Amino acid sequence: MEEAAHIDSEGMTQPLPAARARRRLLRRIGMSWLFACSAAAVGLAAGFTWFVWNVPVEEGRVEQSADGIVALTGGASRIADAIELLASGRGQRLLISGAYRATNAHEISRLNPEFGKWVRCCVDIDRSINTLGNAIEIKRWAQQNRFRSLIVVTSNYHMPRALAEIAHQLPDIALLPFPVIAKRQRLEPWWANSATARLMLSEYVKLIFARLRMELYPAASANG
C-alpha cells in the first residue's frame, strides 16, 4: 500500500508526488467552482440590472389601436384600465385572463357602471391560473377572433414575463404593452421598499425559469 508521505534527507516529512497531485487537483476544482459561482453571480446581477432597466416606470400610454386587448389579472386597476381602453375604441374585444371564479360580467359592470354596455357586448373572461396559462388562453382567444395585434395590460414588473410568454405562443402577433403602476411604486423607488424589492427579485427569477423552459421545451410551451 502506497504511503502518503516519506522522510527526506534532513528528516522532514514530505508528501509523495501522488498526494501532491491530488491536492493540486482539489485546488484546481475548488478554484474552478469559485470562478463558476462568481461568474454566475455576476451574470445574475447583470441580468437583474437589465430586468429592472426594462420594467416600465411610467403609466401605460397607447398611441395606436389594436385588434384586441388582453388584461392579465392581479390588480383591480388592470381591469379598469383595460375596459377604459376598450371603451375608447382601442380594440374590438377585451379578454380578462386569469379572473377569479367570482369575477363575471355582472360583477365587472357593477364595479364599473359607466362601462356597462362595453362589458356586456365585448368582454370575455378566462380562469387560467398562471402567466403561462394566460398566454395559452390568449393564443386561443386571439386565433378564434383572428386578431393580429394585441394591447397587453398588466403590472409594470410583470410586463417583461407576460410579453415573453405571449410572444412565445403568438410569435407573429404585434404586442403593444400598457403597463399599470401601483400607487406604492409611484410614490417611492422599488429599492426603497423591501416588499417591492422582493417582488421585483421574485419576478426576475420567474422570468429566468420561463426563458429556460421556452429554450428547453419550445414545442411543449408553444402547443401546450
The tens digit of pLDDT for each residue in 38-53 reads 665 666 666 667 777 7
Does residue 37 share a domain with residue 125?
Answer: no
Asked, for residue 192, whether it belongs to a domain, the answer is yes
Q: Find the Cα–Cα–Cα–Cα dihedral 63, 65, 70, 74, rounded to 10°.
A: 20
Asked, for residue 59, whether it belongs to a domain, the answer is no
Start-to-end CA span in the chain (Å): 60
| Domain limits for position 49 | 13-54
Does residue 200 share a domain with residue 137?
Answer: yes
Asked, for residue 153, whether it belongs to a domain, the answer is yes
* pTM for the whole structure: 0.76
Does residue 118 share a domain with residue 21?
Answer: no
Contacts of residue 128, defined as CB under 8 A and 6 or more positions apart, other chains included, come to 97, 98, 134, 136, 137
Does residue 108 share a domain with residue 31?
Answer: no
Does residue 212 share a domain with residue 120?
Answer: yes
Asked, for residue 84, whether it belongs to a domain, the answer is yes
Asked, for residue 7, whether it belongs to a domain, the answer is no
The tens digit of pLDDT for each residue in 212-221 reads 999 887 754 4
Of the candidates 143, 99, 133, 140, which has an alpha carbon nearest to the alpha carbon of residue 119? 99
Three cell numbers written together for 127? 380562469
The tens digit of pLDDT for each residue in 96-109 reads 999 888 788 888 88
Give pLDDT, residue 1.
42
123 pLDDT higher than 80:
yes
Looking at per-residue pLDDT, the higher value among 82 and 224 belongs to 82
Does residue 75 share a domain with residue 44?
Answer: no
Q: Domain containing 120 — which CATH number?
A: 3.40.50
Does residue 76 share a domain with residue 26?
Answer: no
Does residue 91 share a domain with residue 42?
Answer: no
Does residue 122 share a domain with residue 173?
Answer: yes
Query: What is 118-159 written as a DSSP string?
Result: HHHHHEEE----SHHHHHHHHHHHHHHHT-SEEEEEEETTTH
Does residue 191 share a domain with residue 85?
Answer: yes
Number of domains in the chain: 2
Q: Which range among 14-28, 56-70, 209-223 shows the weakest confidence by mean pLDDT? A: 14-28
Asked, for residue 85, whether it belongs to a domain, the answer is yes
Does residue 112 share a domain with residue 184?
Answer: yes
CA distances (Å), 30 to each of 19, 26, 37, 103, in order?
A: 17, 6, 11, 55
Does residue 151 share a domain with residue 41?
Answer: no
The C-alpha atoms of residue 197 and residue 78 are separated, in whole angstroms, by: 21
